[in-house]
């Protein structure tokens, strides 16, 4: 009997280890399989109150890298009274999150509340689409690669054209800063 009690915690750890690896390989195979067939968003509609302007996702990628906004994006930031460096920081702000924890968290009641909160800032451009599922998928796909996600990665992995509320982007950055202080 003592032998079984000695092995029991080790077997439990081994089973957990196997589950993590199974989840990892499943998510990896799904991300490789879906990479060829998934259609990611190429345009983002920026909102600032009643004003809206559609910009190319490439313009946001360029802003994230260079810190310089141009064209319609520059007008949108000016109208939203936002500095390009502030938006650049928000686009590149990285949240570490393990894929296993992300999966568990995003399917929990707390995760649904977080998705709804973030969904007020980032949502599908066309109403009637399931924003929660789109956001959940974008987060899971982002963390599957490198156990972290940024707003830019979410936009890159968002399955449809999105709306991004510029007036709440600073609030988003503060929320993400709070999340980064939590240890996952």
Q: Of 162, 125, 171, which is closest to residue 41 (Cα–Cα)?
A: 162
- pLDDT at position 26 is 44
Q: Would you state the pLDDT for residue 28?
A: 42
| Residue 89 φ/ψ, nearest 5 degrees | -65, -40
Task: Evaluate whether 110 touches 125 at the Cβ level (below 8 Å).
Answer: no
Partner residues linked to 52 by β-bridges: 47
What pLDDT does 3 receive?
41
The pTM for the full model equals 0.68
Can you list the residues of the chain whose pLDDT is less than 50?
A: 1-7, 10-12, 14-15, 17-18, 21-22, 24-38
Q: What is the pLDDT of residue 24?
A: 46
For 67: left if phi > 0, alpha if psi spans -120 to 50, otherwise beta; the answer is left
Interval 54-80: pLDDT, tens: 888 999 999 999 999 988 888 888 877
The pLDDT value given to residue 35 = 41
- The answer to whether residues 161 and 44 touch, using CB atoms and an 8 Å cutoff, is yes
Please state the domain extents for the chain. 1-37, 43-181
Query: What are the two backbone dihedrals, phi and then psi, of residue 173, each rounded to the nearest 5 degrees?
Result: -60, -40
Coil/strand/helix, residue 43: strand
């Amino acid at each position: 009997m003592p032998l079984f009690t000695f092995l029991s915690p080790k077997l439990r750890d081994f089973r957990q280890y196997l589950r993590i690896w199974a989840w990892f390989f499943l998510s990896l195979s799904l991300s490789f399989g879906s990479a060829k067939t998934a259609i990611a968003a190429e345009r983002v509609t920026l909102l600032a109150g009643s004003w809206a302007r559609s910009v190319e996702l490439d313009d946001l990628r360029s802003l994230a890298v260079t810190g310089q906004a141009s064209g319609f994006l520059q007008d949108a930031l000016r109208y939203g009274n936002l500095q390009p460096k502030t938006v650049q920081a928000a686009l590149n702000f990285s949240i570490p999150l393990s894929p296993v924890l992300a999966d568990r968290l995003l399917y929990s009641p707390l995760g649904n509340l977080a998705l709804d909160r973030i969904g007020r800032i980032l949502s599908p451009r066309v109403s009637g689409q399931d924003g929660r599922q789109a956001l959940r998928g974008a987060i899971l796909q982002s963390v599957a690669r490198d156990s972290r996600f940024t707003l830019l990665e979410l936009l890159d992995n968002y399955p449809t054209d999105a709306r991004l509320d510029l007036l709440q982007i600073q609030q988003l950055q503060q929320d993400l800063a709070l999340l980064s202080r939590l240890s996952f």
